[in-house]
Amino acid sequence: MAWLQEQLRLAPRRRGCHLITAEIAAALPGLDRFRVGILHVFIQHTSASLCINENADPDVPPDLELALNAIVRDDLPYAHTAEGPDDMPAHVKAALVGSSVSVPIASGHLCLGTWQGIYLCEHRDRGGPRRLVLTVHGET
């Protein structure tokens, strides 16, 4: 059994859902040596999240954002407002969506489905750069 761990710093993005599968794969140059395993992707932030969803139709990311905004409104009377009016709604969305995803690995490749990709869900208007910890465990 072997381990591989890398950190990935993502450039700041606007509020919304952004496909980051290619950036994650590029940050794992040793992935090709794993015959079988699992990739765990963890975001080190509380106002952004990660999910796996459809990567083919460009309508999916804005629709995801639309639905999240309908579920978690910005205009509720939140007590936590010290970091701006979009901060607490971002924490709620991050709690609902989640801070990590896991993807199986086979023959050095991520075993995502044909229409699946890994998304960064940026819940702040100006969230800044985001840090991910990428951990692979498996047989080489």
The mean pLDDT value for 47-65 works out to: 97
Mean pLDDT of the chain: 97
Name the pTM for this structure: 0.96
Q: How many domains does the chain have?
A: 1
Contact predicate 38/137, CB 8 Å: yes
pLDDT for position 122: 98
* Residue range 100-109, pLDDT digits in tens: 999 999 999 9
Give 73's contacts (C-beta < 8 A, 6+ positions apart). 89
Burial (0-12, 13-18, 19+ Cβ within 10 Å), 115: exposed
pLDDT for position 9: 98
pLDDT for position 47: 98
Binning pLDDT at 50, 70 and 90, where does residue 79 land? very high
Binning pLDDT at 50, 70 and 90, where does residue 138 land? very high
pLDDT for position 121: 98
pLDDT for position 116: 98
Classify strands 116-126 and 14-19 as parallel, antiparallel or unpaired: antiparallel
CATH number at residue 87: 2.60.120.460
Which residue range is the domain that position 121 belongs to? Answer: 2-139
- Give the number of other CB atoms < 10 A from CB of residue 53: 16
